[in-house]
Structure 1
């Protein structure tokens, strides 16, 4: 037994880090203490429901069943503590709701890096520019957004006032100053959503159960559409108005639990009666002894069962994670090994395709060369020979042309001088002939020459 206790105490620090309760854990893990005899309500089964053990500054505060579909809590469970009050400051978020791999194991302000923030929970900015305020289900709790629902401002204030009055006037006085008072506060979501994301409750409710000195229960319902009306009902009637099959306090004695109103009425009746029946001192001693023995045995059995559950959760949880890690590693290794032959075949196929492309290019070049005309190839081959051999002839032709141009120039010059001399001679002869009267003879001579 001592070894078992030591093992559990050694395992508790690891378990206390589990803010978002895992599938392998029972109930709400270390927050099961907030429920009657450690048993959470039955009937709230849905894959979108997340079990949260709300912790802040190293201390567990309350347990919450949160709907990631509606982005509001379905219920939060509390164990009444005298002097508990809401904490002022920024609204806190649950990091592991959006990032299951987050190392943050407590509520945070959201300033840290959280992957996918706002995917599975409502954020403070979702309430901006709307007619609704983030309203805690139970205002005597830390300011956690996972414990809030969107409510109109006037309804929020009246709901807090109603709960305070109920605690002060009925619940705490009838339960030995609240030492064994279990409180579950919840909301029923509607189809109406704020910014098409956060569901607005149809109504909010509260259920209370006290086991000592006598078992009794109480339920209240307040419709969001009627802020002035608080409906007080029995626990059975409250459960009938919640989703089918819900049992809030699963281990309460059905017929033994009465409402707070009935208990108050019975106490007042006994006070007014004359000479109520009182048991003797000997009977009261045996009753006290029986109650003490019963509570001791009950607490010992509960402690043993709690230790056994924690050990089983630890063992099976570690085995589950080992099995998950091993299968993940084997799957990844098998995938890599299977990809090696595929990669080799892919490389060989690429090499073969490369050779095929090279051969195709070579054949294409050969075919292109074969399609060229033979005469064109011969002309291309003989072009250098004819070009070199034609150089002397071209040079001679160029020199002949130059010489012809020069000779033509000389002929033109000498012809111009000869013509000019002939014209001058003819003009002089004509002039002298006319001058000396020999024009006739000269003209006759000219005619004869002609």
Structure 2
């Protein structure tokens, strides 16, 4: 009873500290008016560590959601609100700076995506790393801090798997074959790829390309959606950005009820919102889009991207996510409001 009470108090403390222990201060410039979206934090699920690793110094280090300033080469490129329990990003926020509206052949997908070491131990490198780099990083930290890897909960492979999605989660399982006297049926276990929220093709800087290929920036997305209509919409967004001094973008997911390998939640929908400002920072246009990640949820049961006004997107997301009235993707809904100093550009 006493131990149960102690863990309950720890859990309460961890939930209470979650929103104050982490923030986007180091990458706030990727948000319109440097204000992050409001209302998404409460839908994240708690972390999935079965046992707390010995290297965790405070339970708030495992708070969910995790606020990630996606960093490579000690430079932050965009922001991701990461749902630890579901092992998917709830959204990624970035500035679209690519001006050429076509498929980017220079955005070649690597075989392995990067991880976020600080989802394991907050004190290790801030830079995203491949699995082969993260493993020695964790081993070195364990050794320097007297943490025994004889205990499975402290072993790098188990820590990586418990803290976030890994490449193996997205590897299609072997097909099953069913034979009848007249035919052979091959059934594949999943058809989901690593769908970017912040896509490589929206950026000019080669380092920025690389920073998008991290598992904390992707969700399981039906390949048929990701490689067709959603990809076309991503290219169209570059055209939409024409005439903008800057385009602020937030792309997110609506968590579903199923998961890859019982680990990584499959979104029921993916969505996108943008806010364009002129060179003086005044909003000039905004909008958004949403697409079902399952044909059964899509209009006419066909994958398609529904483009809409920002206000309509927000209303749809409020209903899908069961959010409160205190919800906005962009500060002031990407509008200037007369007499409201917070909502004026100058």
The TM-score normalised by the length of structure 2 is 0.62
Distance 2:292 2:336 in 1: 28
SS of equivalent residue, structure 2 residue 290: strand
Q: After TM superposition, give the deviation of residue 25 of structure 1 in Å.
A: 6.4
- Point out where structure 2 has 5 or more consecutive residues left out of the alignment: 1-17, 43-62, 139-155, 174-189, 201-208, 296-301, 338-343
Q: After TM superposition, give the deviation of residue 168 of structure 1 in Å.
A: 3.5
Q: State the match for 1:268 in structure 2.
A: none
Structure holding more strand per residue:
2
The answer to whether the 8 Å contact 2:67/2:80 transfers is: yes
Q: How many equivalent residue pairs?
A: 235
Q: After TM superposition, give the deviation of residue 56 of structure 1 in Å.
A: 0.9
Structure 1 residues 381-400: aligned runs within 5 Å: none
- Of 233, 237, 253, the residue aligned with 1:167 is 237
Distance 1:74 1:215 in 2: 26
Across the aligned residues of Structure 1 and Structure 2, the Cα RMSD in angstroms comes to 2.7
Q: State the match for 1:138 in structure 2.
A: 198
Residues 125 and 197 (structure 1), Cα distance of their counterparts in 2 relative to 1, 3 Å cut: same
Q: State the match for 1:49 in structure 2.
A: 65
Q: After TM superposition, give the deviation of residue 117 of structure 1 in Å.
A: 1.0
The answer to whether the 8 Å contact 2:229/2:304 transfers is: no
Q: State the match for 1:64 in structure 2.
A: 80
Residues 201 and 42 (structure 1), Cα distance of their counterparts in 2 relative to 1, 3 Å cut: same
Distance 1:168 1:253 in 2: 18
Distance 2:92 2:310 in 1: 16
Query: Does structure 1 residue 216 correspond to structure 2 residue 270?
Result: no
SS of equivalent residue, structure 1 residue 117: helix
SS of equivalent residue, structure 2 residue 131: coil
Q: After TM superposition, give the deviation of residue 163 of structure 1 in Å.
A: 2.9
- Per-residue CA deviations over 1:397-416 (Å, capped at 9, x if unaligned) read xxxxxxxxxxxxxxxxxxxx
Q: Relative contact order (alpha carbons < 8 A, sep ≥ 6): 1 or 2 greater?
A: 2
- Per-residue CA deviations over 1:47-89 (Å, capped at 9, x if unaligned) read 5211000011222111000001111100000111236974643
Q: After TM superposition, give the deviation of residue 123 of structure 1 in Å.
A: 0.5
SS of equivalent residue, structure 1 residue 69: coil
Structure 1 residues 203-352: aligned runs within 5 Å: 203-212=269-278, 214-226=283-295, 228-242=303-317, 243=321, 244=323, 245-252=326-333, 254=335, 298=346
Distance 1:192 1:159 in 2: 23
Distance 1:166 1:36 in 2: 21
**Bigger shift: 64-73 or 125-134?**
125-134
Q: State the match for 1:192 in structure 2.
A: 258
Distance 1:73 1:149 in 2: 7
| Max Rg structure | 1
The answer to whether the 8 Å contact 2:92/2:251 transfers is: yes
- Per-residue CA deviations over 1:210-267 (Å, capped at 9, x if unaligned) read 12265321010011124531101111111112231320002345477xxxxxxxxxxx
Structure holding more helix per residue:
1
- Of 95, 99, 115, the residue aligned with 1:79 is 95
The TM-score normalised by the length of structure 1 is 0.48
Q: After TM superposition, give the deviation of residue 98 of structure 1 in Å.
A: 2.4
